[in-house]
Homo-oligomer: A and B are copies of this chain.
Amino acid sequence: MTVLILTSEQDVTADMVVAALHLRSVPVMRLDPADVPGKAVLSADYAHGDFDGHLSVNGHVLSMGGLRSVWVRRPGEPAAHASDSSSWLTAETRQALYGMLYSAPTRWMNHPRNADQARYKLWQLRIAHLSGFAVPPTAFTTAPRVAQQFAEEYRDVVVKSASGPPPGDPASALPTTLIGPGADFSTVAAGPALLQRYVPKRADIRLTCVGPRLFGARKRSAPGQVDGRYGDTGYAWETTAVPDRIAKSVQEYLALSGLAYAAFDFAEDEDGLWWFLECNQAGQFGFVELETGQPIAEAVALWLAGRTGERRVPESRG
């Protein structure tokens, strides 16, 4: 039974997981969907009464019946490396590759169906609320008056991007900006603004979840710092215990969202309360492992190898 890792060629984090799988003699196939068709060959058929499928990369063949698990890490766009690439070829290749994989009875970290939904920030807040997390008051609006009222009510407010930083911004720019009620909100009408009550905090928390295993990391905040995930604060990430109440909410969140892997960001306030900020289903863990020594890559490898006692994700059910 083989683990399939979908990622691009340059991916140090995937290298760490592959190494951990090799140590345990678990067969691995690494595939960049951009290399289909071309370096990688695929075939799926229903020719003899039931489904079968094969992937072939560099002479190694993986049968869908022998698929242990799929890790959707950083896959390239299907057919992107083809000599005659086109949006139609990408669409057809996506149909062939993912259609075949979706038809296989396997475990996913994470299934694209669940990953796509988990990217919606408002949905995250809703699921977080249902799971029992403390969620800071938040508004997402195209109405300048609503944005103005929100800022007047909560005074210290941060503005965030929901889909990622706007193009052209320097990578070092802080994606979260603190504003006051005196700001000009008229531009909200031209593009939705995500506003959140600022949580005065003494630390940032990154909680990495690999199936049932939780890795809590904490970084003290520098005074007045808004977004501790970026830039140098003079403090490092350190392992921290995960409160039982949080662990329970995390399991509820993962069950509601169908995620096997997730990286949660919290703000720890002056009273020690963890406020839910967001949950990134594809969040990086390399930097946390490097600074804390937490064996996250190994945990991912063990989950993919199916040695954590996790149930198989059901094939599909609305």
Residues of A with Cβ closer than 8 Å to B? Answer: 36-37, 41-48, 50-51, 53, 56, 79, 82-84, 86-89, 91-96, 98-100, 102-103, 113-114, 116-117, 119-123, 125-127, 129, 135, 137-143, 146, 150, 153, 161-164, 166-167, 189-192, 194, 255-259, 313-318
Assess the B142–A37 pair: CB atoms within 8 A.
yes
In the complex, how many angstroms separate the beta carbon of A144 from the nearest chain B beta carbon?
10
Instruction: Known contacts A46-B125, A46-B138, A258-B318; decide if A163 and B84 are in contact (CB<8 Å).
Output: no
Kindly list chain B residues whose C-beta atoms are within 8 Å of the C-beta of A164.
Answer: 88, 91
Kindly list chain B residues whose C-beta atoms are within 8 Å of the C-beta of A125.
Answer: 46, 51, 103
Number of identical monomers bound together in the oligomeric complex: 2
Kindly list chain B residues whose C-beta atoms are within 8 Å of the C-beta of A258.
Answer: 316-318
Assess the A100–B37 pair: CB atoms within 8 A.
no
A163 CB contact (under 8 Å) in B43, B88, B100: B88
Assess the A120–B99 pair: CB atoms within 8 A.
yes
In the complex, how many angstroms separate the beta carbon of A74 from the nearest chain B beta carbon?
18
Contacts A43-B140, A44-B140, A46-B137 supplied; 19 other A-B pairs, CB < 8 Å: A36-B192, A41-B189, A42-B141, A42-B142, A42-B143, A43-B139, A45-B141, A46-B126, A47-B139, A56-B143, A87-B167, A88-B167, A92-B163, A95-B192, A99-B122, A102-B122, A113-B116, A255-B317, A258-B316
